[in-house]
Structure 1
Amino acid sequence: MPLNRILVADDEESMRWVLSKALKRKGFTVDLAHDGRQALSLVQDNNYDLAILDIKMPGISGLDLLDKIRELKSDLLVVIMTAEASMKNAVEAMKRGAYDYITKPFDLDVIDAIIEKVGRAREIAGQVTMLKQELKERYQVEKNIIGNSPAMREVYKTIGKVAASDVTILVQGESGTGKELVARAVHFNSRRLGKPFVAINCAAIPKELLESELFGFEKGAFTGAVERKLGKFEQANQGTLFLDEIGDMPLDLQAKILRVLQEREITRTGGNQSIPVDVRIVAATNQELIEKVRQKEFREDLFYRLNVVPINLVPLRERREDIPQLVQYFLGRASAEMDISDKQCTDEAMAVLTAHSWPGNVRELENTIKRAVILSSDPLLTPRDFEGLEPLSGGQPTVSHDASLESIVDLKLRSCMNGIEKLEKGDIHAMVLEQVERPLIRFILEKTRWNQVKAADILGINRNTLRKKINDLGIELKRD
């Protein structure tokens, strides 16, 4: 957290002039106040990294101003100046929360030492705050990535393999699948834990502003640039920069991103100095970047720079076996946020949720659960609480060609059971097993050319058991 903007308040014009000139020479933005009231107004209207206050000023004294600053901006560090080198003043200033205390007259070397000391203090304070926040977020991220489907297990394995390195990652998936959660999981499991995680949505910022948001700008670079601003690359230095929806980035800016990846340095807008940056890049998109490359809408060289390790998040409709677990998680979180008793879904409601297409993916599911929890006064949520949710393809949900066998069976089973209003005692277990076993045994027999010894061995059952199942299931034997 480098110092940038400093307030100097002193009723002596010569002191204001000397400090302003010395600080500006070192690249700081300096605001001046000739008395305590003007200084208080500036503190109320602006954000400062350091305030240097004279102890005796008209209107409001330096010590009284220090009290008000502690109330308004408790994180603003204050240095008190005085011409009276009394122990009473020093003790009183430190008791009221001053960071340091200096006696006039002083050499400018003293100010240099103070600035360096303040910079180190701010850096340490920033690291402590960041560690607390990141540990909190890490706990939340590890709780928020829900799912035990084969597709999600592959995601977890990939995160585990690449997190410790600095390799660039491209996360691809539809909107609402949790791309930022994956990016945060990579960061929180890397050696960069404790350093910044900075996210920027490339689609949410007008293209004429995106460059200055990424690279920062110098004072006077354009109308309205009243002070220097650090961009996302510098803010993320030594940490991770998450470039969300990078497929929407303009081509001219893509070239500059490519240069940063190659050279590991940036230049602020309006500046000419190259600034080294140590940043790990995790990019994300809901678009088919390779198709955009073919259409000349995305740079091919940047695509291959970003796509070192791809992580693909499948849509929720292709990992339906995770839906019950997600529902339980969102039910608990919604109840906790609203401080109400936990609610549960009936089996019929869960079947409706599992069969829905979820075009908005996990985000849509979360909002649907939250809405139902808010609107329902009953502790049990029924299909009535989820009216308007329709299964895929007019009642016949579908899955992708690479979906797991479990998800296919689960989806088909729920589809078949949706029309049953009430489940009663019967032979459903035997019926379902029969319908699964028959095609399985027939398939293995076909693969072994109807050799029952080989088929029994592959199935893991003895030959007599296989023969009985063939008879019970009415499987017609064939001969090649």
Structure 2
Amino acid sequence: MDTPRPPSFSPDKPVEGWPGWSILVVDDEPGMLHFLVKTLAPRCHFVMSAGSAEEGEQWLKGHHVDLVILDISLPGKSGVVWLKELREQGFTGEVILITAFADLDTAIEALRAGASDFILKPFRVPQILNAVKQCYERSRLRRENFVLRRATSGSGPQAPRLVGESPAMRALRDALPRVAAVDSTVLLQGESGTGKELVARALHALGPRAAGPFVPVNCAAVSPELIESELFGHAKGAFAGASRARDGLFHYAQGGTLFLDEIAELPLAIQATLLRAIEDLKIRPVGSEQLVPLNLRIVAATNRQLSHEVAAGRFRQDLFFRLQVVDMALPPLREHKDDIPALVAHFMAQLAPSLGTEPLQISEQEMDFLRQYHWPGNVRELRNLIERSLILGSLNVSALYPAPPSGAAQGVTDLQTLEKLHILSVLDSVQGDKTRAAHLLGVSRRTLERRVAEWSVS
């Protein structure tokens, strides 16, 4: 088979207002190819042309294509037959079918085969441009709806605002605009509940990709067997149960930010794949031969010390260095307790309207109790306490300070003992359900299990 002809056109920058798409035009009429390439080239990122389905297949093996404009009547394999094969193989891009000879049955067959649109020849420039724009809008809406579903399926979106005037919080807040302005990879390190996702969202909102999607991924919440497919997508038949092709989260983050939370939980094999994706700015869906170029920013986060994980052989050193282009450390709440009054006021104002309650009045004695507590769940635990208190109608600080062990003098029990008593009290209140207890404490289940294991409590 002949090698595909060179790309028809690749402008430095598409016409403003048009998507930077890669388009493949397949038609056996040279005049039609020339017309479509001339029309689309200045408005798109990359335009390829082919005279047959077989030649088009060669393009798809080595290039990412967002839209195929495909003639039905082609030498060899027809456009409709090839479209059916593309869909079965997992091609998820838009397809516009064109033909000079068609009836209603042909149009129905084309749409059933997976066509996005159907245009009769001869057509004018506005017709084809309008069809391309409609395809782009459909693709954009699918991606935005996917991102919205993920955002609303969790705890809800958070405003990118860092509360507090302590030196640690001021330094972190001052660094955000500088870090957000560049596209470098960012690594956020801090204990569970310190606000790593909040910082990631702030970086996204303050940066040049703010108009794009923010896609959070909890690497610890996805099974090791599925994480590669979840991140990179897969082709139909790539593994048992893959009855159809599926785009991965990298695809849905295109043009925006991909937030990889709990990245230390990634299996070593996936770490190697992720490293290659970051370095090459391309991904290959599982079971596919197609390389997909990336246009996104990656922000990663972990509640572990990655340098320790590298030393223990649980995390790749090369990936650690690649992620650590910008390293931001988030302090635990116990290191900036002066911010607790501001945080309490912020959570009261944020949560009271959604719960239909009035903000609570916090006494100085109660605030002192909050300042003395160790906060193993950090800011998240404080937020959960305020939410529970709003629901119950009073700030129940006794939940933070259970009665000390028999024989312990009042006020002598150290903070670590209080932390242990509090955690065990929460576990007891939910009949030992560690998942519910971790949620109430504002920590991950793995963190809770490690704490309990240290105390030899089942």
* Range into which the TM-score falls when normalised by the shorter chain: 0.5 to 0.7
Shift of 1:369: 1.1
**Greater relative contact order structure (CA < 8 Å, 6+ sep):** 2
The aligned counterpart of 2:274 is: 257
Residue aligning to 1:78: none
Please say if residues 160 and 201 of structure 2, whose CA atoms lie closer than 8 Å, have aligned partners that are also in contact: no
What SS does the aligned partner of 1:222 have? coil
Q: What percent identity do the matched residue pairs reach?
A: 39
State whether structure 2 residue 398 is matched by structure 1 residue 387. yes
Q: Secondary structure at the match of 2:283?
A: strand
Q: Counterparts in 2 of 1:87-236, with a 5 A limit?
A: 106=120, 116-123=132-139, 125=141, 140-143=158-161, 145-236=162-253
Pair 139,208 (structure 1): closer, same or farther in 2 beyond 3 Å = closer
CA distances 1:422-449 after superposition (whole Å, capped 9, x unpaired): xxxxxxxxxxxxxxxxxxxxxxxxxxxx
Task: Kindly indicate whether the alpha-carbon contact (under 8 Å) linking 2:147 and 2:215 is maintained by their aligned counterparts in 1.
Answer: no
Of residues 23, 43, 47, the one that matches 2:83 is 23
- Residue 181 of structure 1 deviates from its aligned partner by 0.7
User: Per-residue CA shift, 1:328-383, capped at 9, x if unaligned?
Assistant: 1112222211112222211111111111111001111111111111112xxxx45x
Indicate the SS of the match to 2:159: helix
Distance across 1 between alignment mates of 2:146 and 2:269: 33
1:302 counterpart letter in structure 2: L
Q: Superposed, which structure 2 residues align to 1:16-415 within 5 Å?
A: 21=81, 23-25=83-85, 27-28=86-87, 106=120, 116-123=132-139, 125=141, 140-143=158-161, 145-376=162-393, 381=394, 385-390=396-401, 394=412
- Root-mean-square deviation (CA, aligned residues, Å) is 4.1
Shift of 1:279: 2.0
Measured in 2, the distance between the counterparts of 1:24 and 1:114 equals 24
Matched positions, count: 316
Query: 2:247 & 2:303 partners in 1: Cα distance?
Result: 28
In 1, Cα distance between the equivalents of 2:224 and 2:207? 31
Q: Distance in 2 between matches of 1:161 and 1:272?
A: 38
Aligned residue identity for 2:239:
F
What does residue 42 of structure 1 align with?
Answer: none
* TM superposition shift of 1:308: 1.2
Q: For residue 270 of structure 1, report the CA deviation from its aligned partner.
A: 0.4
Cα distance 1:49–1:387, how it changes in 2: closer, same or farther (>3 A)? farther
SS of 1:387's equivalent in the other structure is helix
Q: What letter matches 2:134 in structure 1?
A: V
Distance in 2 (alpha carbons) for counterparts of 1:267 and 1:158: 34
**Whole-angstrom distance in 1 between the partners of 2:263 and 2:160:** 25
Q: 1:141 to 1:329 in 2, by over 3 A?
A: same
Measured after TM superposition, the shift of residue 129 of structure 1 is 7.7
Letter in 1 for 2:247: L
SS at match of 1:345: coil
The answer on whether the counterparts of 1:127 and 1:195 sit within 8 Å (CA) in structure 2 is no
TM-score by structure 1 length?
0.57
Query: Radius of gyration: which is bigger?
Result: 1
Q: Which amino acid aligns with 2:87?
A: F
Find the aligned partners of 2:80 and 2:401 in 1 and give their Cα distance.
67
Give me the whole-angstrom Cα distance separating, in 2, the residues matched to 1:397 and 1:207.
Answer: 37
* TM value normalised by structure 2: 0.60
Query: What letter corresponds to residue 280 of structure 1 in structure 2?
Result: R
Shift of 1:217: 0.2
Measure, in 1, the Cα distance between the counterparts of 2:171 and 2:389.
32
Distance 1:101 1:364, change over 3 A: closer
How big is the shift at 1:48?
13
In 2, Cα distance between equivalents of 1:183 and 1:254: 20
- For 1:286, give the aligned amino acid: N
Residues 367 and 219 of structure 1: CA distance in aligned 2, closer, same or farther (over 3 Å)? same
Q: Which runs of no fewer than 5 residues in structure 1 stay unpaired?
A: 5-17, 31-46, 53-80, 84-99, 399-480
